[in-house]
Amino acid sequence: MHTINKKSIKKAWSQAIAQPGVEFPRSELPILFGKIPEGLRGTLYRNGPARLERGNTHVGHWFDGDGAILAVNFTDAGASGVYRYVQTPGYQEEAKAGKLLYGNYGMTAPGPIWNQWRKPIKNVANTSVLALPDKLLALWEGDRPYALDLENIETLGLDDLGGLDRGLAYSAHPKVDYQTREIFNFGLSPGLNATLNIYKSDFTGKIRQKAQVSLEGVPLIHDFVLAGQYLVFFAPAVRLNILPVLFGASTYGDSLKWHPEVGTQILVFDRENLSLVSRGQTEPWFQWHFANGYVDASGTVIVDIARYQDFQTNQYLREVATGETHTAAKSTLTRVHLRPDTGKVTAIQELVDRHCEFPGVPQQNVGKASRYTYMSTFRPESDISQEILNAIARFDHQTETFTSADLGANRYCSEPIHIQDGQNQAQSWLVTVVYDGNSDSSEVWVFDSDRLDDTPVCKLGLPSVIPPGFHGTWKPD
């Protein structure tokens, strides 16, 4: 049990998750401000946990909510949107029963003890999306992805991508090389020692190559990075105590423990044949997300991460699901230099002393040097122990300048998605979904990526509140 300060007042963001997200069919979106740029044509897809309770029972962690996909399509005629839950069998079964039936990351299955084995965990398909030429994948790192229709977001079913046997997971953070049209991803198979499975796919998503390597214990690996000819994994100093999970005595989230003594384990793979190039070890930290990676002129691999000093972020994210947070968990954009042949870290530098989450670079720069990194952050006056992400920002590596967009009080953003203008290569946009706690509504905001500290160029209204989510992607027309 965790002690809650009864005198505290819930912040405006808590309204956004107080009720489950409400689906809406394809709907024209009103322009509230400005106009849609002529070079912005395509579809924004976003995923996130949209239902955190059922039958008056709340989930145990933000990660446990059922996934819902928002698709916003920009055309010459304007913008339209559709919002639908991923229709997993677990979602449908619980909807019919009117109550929660399954366990998940932060909760064991409700009801009698045998439910811990009969209904141990539900694929909530709530973390990210991958837009392929003929389908959209809703990703969740504990299982195979769900395929959806790109237009109407209808759920088509689990997808094995031509190579995912039952029991093989496909993580929520694939890396797409838009020059070679290759897609890289991974999945963990737990056990007393976990197995790291690595996949290389063609641009249709079909898996063409697989490899695996054994790990020490069961680390929490949420993301990885493509850096030139390498795939780089950092296994942070967190390990799963698997036996209580197997026996139904504890949740995954509660059984993940901070072990600074094991440090951060580094694994470097060759992207061509997926062979292990090196293993290394360095000081302990935790990261959910990588921003990007590349190989510099000296042959050093440069990796940028959102780095936490410890694993307090897990407790903070558990508290988000309650609508009230009390735990401070700050991460900063940090650069790691390492030798790929040995896995040895040669330098670690904090790039900017501001909170950083959901970092990313333009699609065309994945795996190579990028002047800009985009991220979600906090307004400077925010108490980060009580707020959720409420600003977006850009870091210019050339000038070492940090520029943020102030959304205003009681407004909360999603991960910013960088979009290259379809008509002008010198122009690009940042798009984020904003929950406005002042009016209890959600909007889509479009910023000029070079003028983040200026007014958005466009704001679109959404028919219902979109609860805060995790990751998204852009599919150009």
- The region of weakest confidence among 15-24, 32-41, 235-244 is 235-244
Confidence tier at 110 by pLDDT (50, 70, 90): confident
What percent of the chain stands above pLDDT 70? 98
pLDDT in tens, 207-227: 999 999 999 999 999 999 999
pLDDT tens readout for residues 419-477? 999 999 999 999 999 999 999 999 999 999 999 999 999 999 999 999 999 999 999 99
CA distance 167 to 453: 46
- Separation of alpha carbons 286 and 307, rounded Å: 6
Q: How high is the pLDDT of residue 259?
A: 97
Distance CA 82, CA 68 (A): 10
Q: For residue 188, with 0-12 CB atoms within 10 Å meaning exposed, 13-18 middle and 19 or more buried, which class applies?
A: buried
- Amino acid 119: pLDDT: 75
% of the chain beyond a pLDDT of 90: 91
Residue 1 confidence (pLDDT) above 50: no
pLDDT higher than 60, residue 230: yes
pLDDT of residue 224: 98
* Res 451: pLDDT: 97
- Tell me the per-residue pLDDT of 130-188, one tens digit each, with 9 for 90 and over: 999 999 999 999 999 999 999 999 999 999 999 999 889 999 999 999 999 999 999 99
At residue 120, the pLDDT reads 75
Asked whether residue 5 carries a pLDDT value surpassing 60, the answer given is no
Residue 3, pLDDT > 60, answer: no
113 — pLDDT class (breaks 50, 70, 90) = confident
pLDDT tens for each residue of 345-355: 999 999 999 99
Instruction: Check residue 57 and give its pLDDT.
Output: 93
The Cα–Cα gap between 383 and 9 comes to 13
What are the phi and psi torsion angles at 49 (to 5°)?
-70, 120
- Contact between 342 and 280 under an 8 Å Cβ cutoff? The reply is yes
State residue 2's pLDDT score. 41
- Does residue 66 surpass a pLDDT of 50? yes
pLDDT at 265 over 90: yes
pLDDT value of position 108: 86
Q: Tell me which of 43-47, 118-122, 137-141, 437-441 is least confident.
A: 118-122
Asked if the model's pLDDT at residue 10 lies above 60, the reply is: yes
Confidence check: pLDDT of 7 > 90: no
pLDDT at 464 (0 to 100): 98
Closest CA to 243 of 315, 187, 169, 191: 191
User: Given the structure tokens 């009681």, which residue do they identify?
Assistant: 410
220 CB contacts (<8 Å, ≥6 apart)?
235, 236, 238, 239, 240, 256
Q: Residue 8's pLDDT band (boundaries 50, 70, 90)?
A: low
Structural domains of the chain sorted by starting position, each given as residue range(s) with its CATH number in brackets: 14-476 (2.130.10)
For residues 87-112, average pLDDT: 93
- Give me the pLDDT at residue 4, please: 42
**Res. 249: pLDDT tops 70:** yes
Confidence of residue 237 (pLDDT cuts 50, 70, 90): very high
At 344, which helix (H) or strand (E)? Answer: strand 344-355
Interacting residues of 318 by C-beta distance below 8 A, sequence separation 6+: 2, 60, 61, 62, 106, 253
CA dihedral 425, 429, 430, 436 (to 10 degrees): -170
Mean pLDDT of the chain: 95
pLDDT tens-digit map of 172-192: 999 999 999 999 999 999 888
Quickly state the pLDDT bin for 302 (edges 50, 70, 90). Answer: very high
CA nearest to 309, candidates 258, 382, 373: 258
Residue 320, classified by CB atoms within 10 Å of its CB into exposed (0-12), middle (13-18) or buried (19+), is: buried
